[in-house]
A and B are shown apart, each in its own frame.
Chain A
Amino acid sequence: MGRYIARRLLQAIPLLLIISLVLFVLMQAAGDPLATLGGRQPPRAEDRARLARQWGLDQPVLVQYLYWLVGNDWAMMDSDGDGIPDQPGTRKGVLRGDFGNSLVTRQPAMEVIMERVPNTLVLMLTAQALIIVFALLVGIYSALHQYSLMDNVLTGCSFAAFSMPIFFIALFSIYLFSIRFKAWGLPSFPTGGMYDPAVGRTFAQVASHLVLPAMSIALIDIARYSRYIRSNMLEVINSDYIRTARAKGLRERYILFIHAFKNAALPLVTLIGLDLPFLLAGAVVTERIFAWPGMGRLFLDHLNRTDIPVMMGLLMMISVAVVFFQLMTDIVYTWLDPRIRYT
């Protein structure tokens, strides 16, 4: 097992290097960060040249990638534009934890990202909790009442939910639950933001602003997860050891929730493990519609300004999380299902 983990970790290194190189090259070509600097007034040519030199944007892409990766404090940089390298650079590079400064706010990129992480986690973990609870309820109910009217209705609903674009769900829920409900004089939900600035960031405020976006995100995945749970549960309750348990005269409730559920829930671990890291990416569309100040919106805003350090930091953070969670999922799986062994 130790060898297996070590090998997987070693394999992750080239993987992450490939990802970062591809993303870095794509971003370099995706736009000119200097073009949007002066707001409406484009920067003067000499300012442009000076900034490009200071930020290292005048270097070839691969050199820029190298400096991004390992820093440039070991190399002599040309600081005054006379073509002669005169003093060492100041960046430490990603491998030493320095993601560079945001080109927009001049703050360290990691600070900019970390500011948004809690907001995204509040939204996405709430959604994930809703997904797991409701998917389990729907999936198990459907499996135990296979081909009943309710099962067919739920199957139809989940097919529909599965096919819906999230923006339609989001727009429709705003229209119904905040605009129409308000018009009908029913208690309504706020349409956007994370809290009412007049009231402040209280628990009640955040919770009420959380309901609609979290439900919109959850709906599609409830449909997806509940299908998996239903088919796994069906497979398990038709298996021999469940028949044996019944033959022993165990109570049905005990059979279902202790014997059957434990095995039926196994694939769920994989599903959650593979989805968790992508929670960090937030829901770009949902965050935009509900004006939720999370990572997805951060990405969109900084994409428009071609803020390479922040975008690279964000994407690399997610990629590392994906690799890490894949390994964790595999390890947890061996513990849950002793039949699986890795060598």
Chain B
Amino acid sequence: MSSSELSAQPVNLKLDEDTLPPQSLWRMTLRRFRRHRMAMVGLFTLMGIILYIGVGSLIFTEAFANHNDTRLRLQPPSAEHPFGTDTVGRDILARTIYGGQISIIIGLFSVIVAVSMGTAVGAVSGYYGGKVDSTLMRLTEAMLSIPTLLLLLVMAKFFSGRIPDLVIFGRTFSGSVLVIIIIIGLTSWMYLGRIVRASFLSLKESEFVLAARALGVRDRQIILAHILPNSMAPIIVAATLGVAGAILTEAYISFLGMGVRPPTATWGSMLDGAYQYIEQAPWLWFFPGLLIILTVISINFVGDGLRDALDPRSDKKV
């Protein structure tokens, strides 16, 4: 981009917004998001991946993905097995499809856990202040002082085997999926909690909150209906980036063999033990690894685009 284009842009933007009819916040956000080129590329890549794991599961059955035939172990990619086979002869292409579903489910749901916790802690802490605030912030600091991966490993061991397998929509999920969702959620709410707290601290002094309080609106109502919607932007951005973080974290735990138990596959658990076959069977780690990278990069781009779109004043230089 040349500098002349850059200096011309704001002028256009202004004219644009003057001539257009008034628009809702979401419409404006969407318009700004569409202008973010990398975010759109990320969004399309992400849709491609979702299509891949969605349509793929119509072509291959889960039984096929978990079917092992040791006579076919460690086959290099071929027409029959485009991504090759793993150490017990399972088809890697089919496993990346079903593994991807679990990885993305873990990413989404652990972010829901983390966002609920972070928002609750941040909101209560920022709104009420005082002793509640300092207690909760000490807890947050305590969590931030423990190396996350080590804590996750201890927690994975703590919960492992305690939750039975789940059957949802006729499919059996290893109970470890739920464990991983919970522990990733429990260890990744701290930054969000701090962001929400900061936002509540400043918003609770604003006039509209004062007005609400003067009208006798209850605290719960003020927090949920008045302040929270105004702190949505940073929460949405943090949640989006959090999905990428959670997918990576799951991959790390599963890679170390403490994650989701077989036969349920995730992109991370497919890599468990693959490092013993770096030379012999590079396809073991290459394809799942590539899918993790693609997903994480696209989510990060989308998150970056959302940040710019939701907060036009934000520092675009980063």
User: A30 to B317, Cβ gap below 8 A?
Assistant: no
Identify A18's interface contact among B138, B248, B274, B285, CB under 8 A: B138
Question: CA–CA, A300 to B290, complex, Å?
Answer: 26
Q: Is the CB of B292 within 8 A of A168?
A: yes
CB-nearest residue of chain A to B157: A30
Q: Are B317 and A235 in touch, CB under 8 angstroms?
A: yes
Task: Say whether B142 contacts A19, CB under 8 Å.
Answer: yes
Partner pick for A231 among B151, B252, B318, CB 8 A cutoff: B318
B188–chain A nearest beta-carbon distance, Å:
16
| A235 cross-chain contacts in B, Cβ below 8 A | 317
Across the interface, which residues of B come within 8 angstroms of A165, CB to CB? 248, 251-252, 255, 289, 292-293, 296
A4 an interface residue at 8 Å Cβ cutoff?
no
CB distance from A271 to the nearest CB of B (A): 14
Distance in angstroms between the alpha carbons of A280 and B239 in the assembled complex: 29
CB distance from B51 to the nearest CB of A (A): 20
Known A-B contacts A231-B318, A285-B255; the reply to A168 vs B149 at CB < 8 A is no
Residues from chain B with a CB closer than 8 A to the CB of A179 are 278-279
Chain B 268-318 residues near chain A, CB threshold 8 A: 271, 274-275, 278-279, 282, 285, 289-290, 292-293, 296-297, 300-301, 315, 317-318
* CB of A314, distance to nearest CB on chain B (Å): 8
Cα–Cα, bound, A306→B144 (Å): 23
Interface contact A159-B318, CB-CB below 8 Å: no
Let me know if B3 is at the binding interface, CB within 8 A: yes
Inter-chain contact B146/A288, CB cutoff 8 Å: no
CB distance from A219 to the nearest CB of B (A): 13
Is the CB–CB distance between A167 and B275 below 8 Å?
A: yes
Question: Is B146 touching A19 in the complex (CB atoms < 8 A)?
Answer: yes
Which B residue's beta carbon lies closest to that of A278? B147
Contact B252 A315 (CB under 8 A): no
Determine how close the nearest CB of chain B comes to the CB of A85; give it in whole angstroms. Answer: 31
Identify B279's interface contact among A26, A27, A175, A288, CB under 8 A: A175
Distance A62 CA – B290 CA, assembled complex (angstroms): 46
Chief secondary structure at chain B's binding surface? helix
Which residues of B in the span 201-236 have a Cβ within 8 Å of any Cβ on A? none
Residue B256 lies at the interface, judged by CB distance under 8 Å to chain A: yes
Whether the Cβ atoms of B315 and A167 lie closer than 8 Å is no
Complex contact A171–B297 (CB within 8 A): no
**Which residues A117-131 have CB closer than 8 A to chain B?**
none
Q: Are B139 and A18 in contact (CB under 8 A)?
A: yes
* Interface membership of B74, Cβ < 8 A: no
Query: Contact at A159–B157, with CB atoms within 8 Å?
Result: no
Q: Is the interface of A mostly helix, strand, loop or mixed?
A: helix
Known contacts A19-B145, A159-B300; A227/B318 CB under 8 A: yes
Q: How far is the CB of B189 from chain A (nearest CB, A)?
A: 15
On whether the beta carbons of A284 and B149 are closer than 8 Å, the reply is yes
- Residues in chain A near residue B300, CB distance under 8 A: 159, 162-163
A147-174 contact mask (Cβ, 8 Å, vs B): 1 or 0: 1000000000001101111111011101
- In the assembled complex, the Cα of A147 lies from the Cα of B145 at a distance in Å of 38
Please tell me if the beta carbons of A26 and B293 are within 8 angstroms of each other in the complex. no
Within 8 A of B (CB), among A298-317: 299-300, 303, 306, 311, 314-315
Is A256 among interface residues, defined by CB-CB distance under 8 A? no
Chain A residue with minimal CB distance to B3? A147
Given A168-B285, A234-B317, A285-B252, A15 contacting B149 (CB threshold 8 A)? no
Contact assessment for B278 and A174 in the assembled complex, using a CB-CB cutoff below 8 Å: yes
Residues of chain A from 27 to 60 with CB closer than 8 A to chain B in the complex: 27, 29-31
Taking CB atoms, residues of chain A closer than 8 Å to B1 are 147
What residues of chain A lie closer than 8 Å to B157, measured between beta carbons? Answer: 30-31, 303, 306
Query: Which of the segments A66-74, A197-205, A318-326 contacts the partner chain?
Result: A318-326
Does A319 lie within 8 Å of B145, measured CB to CB?
Answer: yes
The docked-state distance in angstroms from the alpha carbon of A27 to that of B158 is 7
* Chain B residues positioned under 8 Å from A172 (CB to CB): 289
Q: Is A276 an interface residue (CB 8 A)?
A: no
B297 touches A299 (CB 8 A): no
A57→B120 CA distance, assembly (Å): 37
Q: Is A14 engaged at the interface, CB distance under 8 Å to the other chain?
A: yes
Is A22 an interface residue, CB under 8 A from the partner?
yes
Residues of A with C-beta under 8 A to B3: 147
A300–B285 contact, CB under 8 A? Answer: no
A300 vs B153: C-alpha distance when bound (angstroms): 8
Q: Are B293 and A175 in contact (CB under 8 A)?
A: no
Q: Specify which chain A residues have a CB less than 8 angstroms from the CB of B292 in the assembled complex.
A: 165, 168
Indicate with 1 or 0, residue by residue over B147-190, a CB within 8 angstroms of chain A CB atoms. 10111011101100000000000000000000000000000000
Known: A285-B252, A318-B146. A159 touches B301 (CB 8 A): yes
- Take A15-B142, A31-B157, A167-B252 as given contacts and tell me if A299 and B150 are in contact as well, using a CB distance cutoff of 8 Å: yes
Q: Provide the bound-state CA to CA distance between A179 and B144, in Å.
A: 39
Chain B residues within 8 Å of A11, by CB:
138
CA distance A92 to B122 in the complex (A): 40
B141 within 8 A of A: yes
- Contact sample, A vs B, 28 pairs, CB 8 Å cutoff: A11-B138, A15-B145, A19-B142, A19-B146, A23-B146, A30-B154, A147-B6, A159-B301, A160-B293, A163-B244, A163-B293, A163-B300, A164-B296, A165-B296, A167-B255, A167-B285, A168-B285, A168-B292, A171-B285, A171-B289, A234-B317, A284-B150, A285-B149, A288-B275, A300-B153, A303-B157, A315-B147, A315-B151
B-side interface residues toward A, CB under 8 Å?
1-3, 6, 38, 138-139, 141-142, 144-147, 149-151, 153-155, 157-158, 244, 248, 251-252, 255-256, 271, 274-275, 278-279, 282, 285, 289-290, 292-293, 296-297, 300-301, 315, 317-318
The list of the 7 closest CB pairs from A to B, nearest first, reads A281-B147, A168-B289, A163-B296, A163-B297, A322-B145, A30-B157, A30-B158
Q: Supply 20 further A-B pairs (C-beta < 8 A) apart from A160-B297, A170-B275, A319-B145.
A: A19-B146, A27-B154, A30-B158, A31-B157, A159-B301, A163-B244, A163-B293, A163-B296, A164-B293, A168-B285, A172-B289, A235-B317, A281-B149, A284-B153, A284-B252, A288-B275, A299-B150, A315-B150, A315-B151, A319-B146
